[in-house]
């Protein structure tokens, strides 16, 4: 590391806590080579209850805003709604929503659906909703259910049960036995839910349990979440640069002649401290952390200062917390074993493919495959994809999409020619780089070395087009292989077609090499078709521009899009043309025109 330093820059901050937080912000931003990194591009999901936290009066007109909706949400939070979480997975959020439906019968329908209902839906029939869309429950009663649901999510279950019991007794004393029976059923459902919850506690409401496992040069941090006193599940993280971080730590402990080296910090502690520092910069921490390793007090103080919340970290816990930690440690071991097994399987598949194609790469770990696929709908929004397989796994950060223009719609051969020229033309002009050159970030294969294998999703036609491009660019034809679908397009019957004149090869249904080829081909197809659909949707629909206009519901939006072919067509139309659509008044047409201009 010292030999690779080019220059040093210094930033002065006010305290060690600020220095620690700045360091970890820079780690997440710059991805330095010698730091333990936790990469996760997905945000945590939340459970959202829409609308303001206040009750509407009896005389209020029933609207979507009057009756808050419970929904799954992922993204930035705001003050307009109430959010509960974060949750470790989408499954945990959806399970909580189902619990709220069973116990408190809150609505989950979209506002547009709510506004257009004339009779209760199936959820009302199966007692999963109280039917606010057709005024089967008063706003104050619905608001009380919302308040109870929020208290339940905060872990105040005993208070909710006590409040329900008090209301039930009041209705009973007033001889309102039907309302009392409803509350009795609600209490029974809530008690059943609490009984089914396998992990619950009385004192701890929000806790994160962190367990780390290191084995075989890999590490896993298992994060278990307890929210509202309920165990919501686990999420596993696999950091990178474990070996490099350990090497740097050993160097630091031996630095300085005549000075007794500092005792080395165990790798498990390094990994866990790196996770805590990086993870809780972007995610609000709970008041309590339970850790499998003893982390530094300065780190916890820095995270507390950053979040504005007093946080405690417990090592070697007792009773219920001990059970939680043991569960997290077991899950960390299982997840790490699964990762090591999958990596071993991928290495075996790479080796099998190299042997099947009679290739001799200098380094099997550096064997690089790029795969191309074309996707469109009747020639519309043609897009090509390039996915990369390297170091025995798919490299998502090196995936690229190419918008294909200036061709005859539906001409897959011309699309393949265009994407290959755009991908490899610069490489051909620059000449072959040294074998150990690594493609710079963002450049893919076009600015780096030629991949060891180029897969093309298609048979002789696509391979012939690829051969023409490579011949024109002066590149090696032997690296081109086409994946031709077998009889009946059945999986496992694919054949490999070569651009250098070799006979087609059938690897066999159970071949590990064919499994790898199919995995890469399917990933290229998935990546291409999702990009094509997104591009097509932008042209046809234009997001929710129309639905954001007051007075435009699902039916009117559908009529406008059908009449004008998309949002662009609506924007290009005049007020008179818009007003000619069924259900669109002159005033609404003028409002639509103003909104789109």
pLDDT of the residue at 251: 53
- pLDDT tens for each residue of 150-166: 887 877 767 777 777 77
- Burial class of residue 207 in the structure, from the number of CB atoms within 10 Å of its CB (0-12 exposed, 13-18 middle, 19+ buried): buried
- Give the per-residue pLDDT at 196: 42
Q: What are 572's two structure tokens? A: 């290009």
Output 39 or 288, whichever has higher pLDDT: 288
296 and 389: one domain? Answer: no
What per-residue confidence (pLDDT) applies to 541? 46
Q: Is residue 352 part of a domain?
A: no
Residues 214, 148: one domain? no
585 lies in the same domain as 515: no
Contacts of 458 (CB under 8 A, 6+ apart): 412, 416, 482, 483, 484
- Report pLDDT for 539: 53
Q: How confident is the model at residue 437 (pLDDT cuts 50, 70, 90)?
A: very low
Give every strand in the sheet of 207-215, ordered side by side: 230-237, 218-227, 207-215, 288-291, 312-315
Residue 155 shares a structural domain with residue 99: yes
Beta carbons within 10 angstroms of residue 509's beta carbon: 13
Rounded to the nearest angstrom, the gap between the alpha carbon of residue 337 and the centroid of all alpha carbons in its chain is: 23
Contact status, residue 273 vs residue 36, Cβ threshold 8 Å: no
- Rounded Cα distance between 525 and 228, Å, is 42
Q: How confident is the model at residue 221 (pLDDT cuts 50, 70, 90)?
A: very high
Residue 17 pLDDT more than 60? Answer: yes
> Mean pLDDT over all residues of the chain?
80
Q: Within a domain: residue 349?
A: no
In a domain, 114, yes or no: yes
Confidence of residue 197 (pLDDT cuts 50, 70, 90): very low
Phi, psi of 374, rounded to the nearest 5 degrees: -115, 140
Residue 253 CA to residue 255 CA, distance in Å, equals 6
pLDDT digits over 562-574, tens only?
788 777 778 888 8
Which helix (H) or strand (E) segment holds residue 593: the answer is helix 586-596
What confidence tier does 440 reach under pLDDT thresholds 50, 70, 90? Answer: very low
Element spanning 373, H or E: strand 369-377
What's the CATH code of the domain at 240?
A: 3.30.420
Of 146, 169, 196, which one is at a domain's C-terminal end?
196
Are residues 230 and 102 part of one domain? Answer: no
Question: What is the structure's pLDDT at 293?
Answer: 92
| 327 falls within a domain | yes
- CATH number, position 459: 3.30.420.340
92 and 167 housed in the same domain = yes
Same domain, 447 and 504: yes
Predicted pLDDT at 372: 93
Strand order, beta sheet including 45-49: 70-74, 45-49, 82-84
Q: Is the domain of 192 the same as that of 269? A: no
Domain of residue 583, CATH code: 1.10.150.20
Residues 290 and 302 grouped into a single domain: yes
Residue pair 289/296 in contact (Cβ under 8 Å)? The answer is: no
Domain boundary residue, one of 196, 225, 243: 196
Token pair belonging to 377: 């709908």
Q: Give the least confident one: 104-118, 489-503, 532-546.
A: 532-546
Q: Based on the domain organization, do 15 and 90 belong to the same domain?
A: no
Residues of the chain above pLDDT 90, percent: 11
For residue 443, the model assigns a pLDDT of: 43
Report the C-alpha gap between 113 and 90 in whole angstroms. 23
Q: What is the pLDDT of residues 399-409, one digit of tens each?
A: 998 988 888 87
Model confidence pTM above 0.85: no
Q: What would the pLDDT profile of 127-146 be if each residue is shown by its tens digit?
A: 889 889 888 888 888 888 88
The answer to the question of residue 40 being in a domain is no
Higher confidence at residue 83 or residue 178? 83
In the chain, the largest separation of any two C-alpha atoms, in whole Å, equals 92
Residue 37 falls inside a structural domain: no
As a whole-number percent, the residues of the chain with pLDDT over 70 amount to 84
Q: What is the mean pLDDT of residues 420-445?
A: 62
* Last-in-domain residue among 315, 336, 357: 336
Number of domains in the chain: 4
Q: 569 is in which domain, residue-wise?
A: 541-596
Please tell me the predicted confidence (pLDDT) of residue 148: 83
What does the pLDDT read at residue 523? 92
Helical pair 267-282 and 16-30, crossing angle rounded to 10 deg: 90
Select the more confidently predicted residue: 378 or 514: 514
Same domain for 433 and 498? yes
Asked if the model's pLDDT at residue 198 lies above 50, the reply is: no
Three-state helix/strand/coil letters over 246-291:
HHHHHHHHHCCCCCCCCCCCCHHHHHHHHHHHHHHHHCCCCCEEEE
Judge if 83 and 179 occupy the same domain. Answer: yes
Q: What angle do CA 15, 19, 21 make, to 5 degrees?
A: 115
Q: Is residue 223 in some structural domain?
A: yes
Number of other CB atoms surrounding residue 4 within 10 Å = 7
In a domain, 397, yes or no: yes
Which residues are bridge partners to 483 per DSSP? 457, 496
Q: Is the peptide bond before 541 cis (omega within 30 degrees of 0)?
A: no
């Amino acid at each position: 590391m010292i030999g690779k330093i080019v220059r040093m820059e210094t930033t002065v901050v006010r305290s060690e806590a600020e220095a620690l937080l700045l360091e970890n912000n820079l780690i997440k931003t710059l991805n330095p080579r010698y730091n333990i990194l936790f990469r996760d591009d997905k945000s945590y999901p939340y459970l959202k209850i829409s609308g303001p936290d206040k009750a509407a009066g009896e005389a209020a007109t029933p609207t979507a805003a009057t009756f808050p909706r419970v929904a799954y949400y992922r993204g930035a939070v705001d003050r307009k709604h109430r959010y509960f979480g974060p949750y470790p997975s989408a499954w945990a959020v959806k399970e909580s929503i189902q619990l709220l439906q069973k116990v408190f019968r809150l609505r989950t329908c979209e506002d547009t659906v709510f506004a257009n209902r004339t009779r209760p839906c199936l959820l009302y029939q199966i007692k999963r909703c109280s039917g606010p869309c057709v005024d089967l429950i008063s706003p104050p009663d619905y608001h009380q259910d919302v308040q109870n649901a929020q208290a339940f999510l905060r872990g105040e279950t005993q208070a909710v049960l006590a409040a329900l019991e008090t209301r039930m007794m009041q209705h009973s004393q007033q001889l309102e036995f039907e309302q009392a029976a409803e509350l009795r059923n609600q209490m029974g459902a809530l008690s059943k839910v609490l009984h089914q919850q396998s992990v619950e506690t009385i004192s701890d409401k929000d806790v994160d349990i962190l367990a780390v496992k290191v084995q075989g040069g890999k590490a896993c941090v298992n994060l278990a979440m307890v929210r509202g006193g309920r165990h919501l599940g686990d999420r596993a993280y696999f950091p990178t640069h474990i070996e490099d971080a350990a090497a740097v730590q050993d160097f630091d402990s031996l630095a300085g002649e005549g000075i007794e080296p500092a005792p080395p910090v165990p790798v498990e502690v390094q990994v866990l401290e790196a996770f805590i520092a990086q993870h809780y910069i972007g995610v609000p921490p709970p008041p309590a952390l339970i850790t499998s390793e003893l982390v530094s007090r300065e780190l916890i103080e820095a995270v507390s200062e950053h979040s504005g919340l007093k946080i405690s970290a417990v090592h070697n816990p007792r009773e219920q917390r001990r059970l939680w930690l043991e569960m997290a440690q077991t899950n960390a071991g299982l997840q790490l074993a699964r990762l090591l097994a999958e990596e071993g399987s991928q290495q075996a598949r790479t080796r099998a493919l190299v042997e099947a194609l009679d290739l001799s790469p200098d380094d099997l770990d550096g064997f690089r495959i790029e795969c191309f696929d074309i996707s469109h709908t009747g020639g519309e929004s043609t897009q090509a994809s390039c996915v990369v397989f390297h170091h025995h796994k798919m490299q998502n950060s090196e995936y690229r999409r190419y918008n294909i223009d200036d061709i005859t719609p539906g001409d897959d051969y011309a699309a393949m020619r265009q994407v290959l020229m755009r991908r490899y033309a610069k490489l051909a002009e620059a000449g072959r780089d040294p074998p150990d050159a690594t493609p710079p970030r963002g450049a893919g294969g076009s600015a780096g070395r030629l991949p060891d294998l180029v897969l093309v999703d298609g048979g002789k036609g696509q391979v012939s087009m690829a051969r023409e491009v490579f011949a024109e660019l002066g590149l090696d034809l032997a690296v081109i292989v086409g994946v031709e679908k077998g009889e009946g397009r059945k999986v496992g019957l694919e054949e490999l077609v070569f651009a250098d004149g070799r006979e087609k090869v059938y690897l066999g249904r159970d071949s590990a090499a064919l499994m790898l080829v199919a995995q890469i081909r399917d990933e290229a197809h998935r990546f291409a078709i999702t990009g094509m659909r997104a591009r097509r949707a932008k042209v046809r629909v234009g997001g929710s521009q129309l639905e954001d206009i007051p007075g435009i519901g699902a039916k009117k939006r559908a009529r406008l899009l059908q009449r004008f072919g998309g949002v662009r067509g609506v924007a290009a139309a005049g007020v008179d043309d818009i007003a000619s659509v069924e259900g669109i008044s002159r005033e609404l047409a003028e409002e639509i025109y103003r909104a789109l201009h």
